[in-house]
Amino acid sequence: MGHKLIAITIILNFLFNLTINADAFQGAYEACNKGNAQKCFKLAVAYDVGTLKKRDINKASELYYKACYGEHAIACYNLASIYANDPKVQPYTVNGLYEKACNGGHMAGCNSFALILAEGRLIGKDINKAVRLHRKTCNNKFYEGCFHLGNMYVVGSGLKKDYSQAMNLYQKSCDGGFAKGCYKAGVSYSTGRGVEQSNFYAAKFYQKACDGGFTEACYNLAFNYARGQGVEKSLTVATNFYQKSCTEGYVRACINLGNMYFFGNNVKHNTFKALKLYQKACYGDIAEGCYNLGINYANGAGVVQSNRQALDYFEKSCEMQYTNGCNAYTELKKTNILNASRKLAKTERVFL
């Protein structure tokens, strides 16, 4: 719910000519002071993105406030998005602004308020109202709402568990362009929950989600290509999807990409690059990355052998509840020699 959520709204506002030129600036202020909420909103946007003067969030907030309480729903939503990142603002104020935006018909406000109600974040938890709001947003073609409603059917939160209904909602959110909905539809096909299992359709939905920027889908798609599940087997394509997912921030993918470089699977053997990828995963809090670094330091593979460094990495992976890391730490600490048969870890497909 951070301030970056405001970007979509602002872009749309510009597309609808909500910016104001310098000549109209003074007139807009006068109209705003006389109670014209739309003029207040246009001025707030100008200050928020710095189109006429230096960017000034405080001034933008002041003008969004005036517009919001002049019944401008988008202004309420934008102000809530700003306040959500301000520790001086009480959370109930943020929640109230999202509710006000929702009551004014702004579906993104309804979505944010529904998530707050479902979590019970500093206001009374109200699952039934959250369900109603997500249904409202979905019916009004705010497709993230369809996705959240699908999740509620999966876990049985305020609704009877129904994987088939969830799948229909994921499909709807995907068709509406919400990439994470495509991913969850792919997961449904991979696992056969709510639909007949099909690797072919799973790959289709993962591809659509990956193209939409959801990197976990690129990661899962790499598995399909690596194993020839629903697509023609291709390690080259699998490598490309691991690379895309890793580069774009889904660091679990860096483990498997690192293994490909370490063993020279479909890419030129490059231990240094593999270690860099394991390190990226480890410092992204992926236990298998720390474990693999420990293996390499214990064996002196691509680095100067160091039991101390190996123990540090095994301990770090153990702290992340990785059993193999805990076992390796105990073994190396006790014997000062690591069993040579210990293999590098890999990560498995995710279905979250």
Q: What is the pLDDT of residues 334-351, one digit of tens each?
A: 999 888 788 999 999 999
**Region 207-214: what's the mean pLDDT?**
98
For residue 177, how many other CB atoms are within 10 A of its CB?
12
What is the pLDDT, as a whole number, of residue 92? 87
Mean pLDDT over 206-232 rounds to 97
Does position 17 have pLDDT exceeding 60, yes or no?
no
pLDDT given for residue 341 in this prediction: 80
How many residues are there in the chain? 352
What CA–CA distance (Å, rounded) separates 344 from 254?
13
CB 329 within 8 A of CB 293: no
Q: Where are the alpha helices (DSSP H) in 265-306?
A: 271-282, 287-299
Give the residue among 167, 113, 173, 109 at the shortest CA–CA distance from 141. 173
Residue 217 has, within 13 A of its CA and on its CB side, a CA count of 26
DSSP string, 203-247: HHHHHHHHHTT-HHHHHHHHHHHHHTSSS---HHHHHHHHHHHHH
Residue with tokens 């449904």: 188
Non-local (6+) Cβ contacts of 269 within 8 A are 261, 262, 263
Mean pLDDT of 254-262: 97
The secondary structure of residue 196, as a DSSP letter, is -
Q: Report helix angle 287-299 to 271-282, nearest 10.
A: 140
Q: What is the DSSP letter of 321?
A: T
CB 221 within 8 Å of CB 206:
yes
Angle, nearest 10°, between helix axes 179-191 and 215-227? 40
At position 186, the amino acid (one-letter code) is: G
Q: What are phi and psi of 178, to 5 degrees?
A: -90, 105
Q: pLDDT digit string (tens) for 32-61?
A: 999 999 999 999 999 998 876 688 999 999
Three-state DSSP state, 153? helix
Sorting pLDDT into bands at 50, 70 and 90, what band is 75? Answer: very high
Based on its alpha-carbon atoms, the radius of gyration of the chain, rounded to whole angstroms, reads 25
Distances (CA, A) of 260 to 44, 55, 101, 207, 278: 51, 47, 49, 22, 11
**pTM to 2 decimals?**
0.87
Q: What's the pLDDT at 20?
A: 54
What's the pLDDT score for residue 154?
Answer: 96
Q: Confidence band (pLDDT; 50, 70, 90) for 12?
A: very low
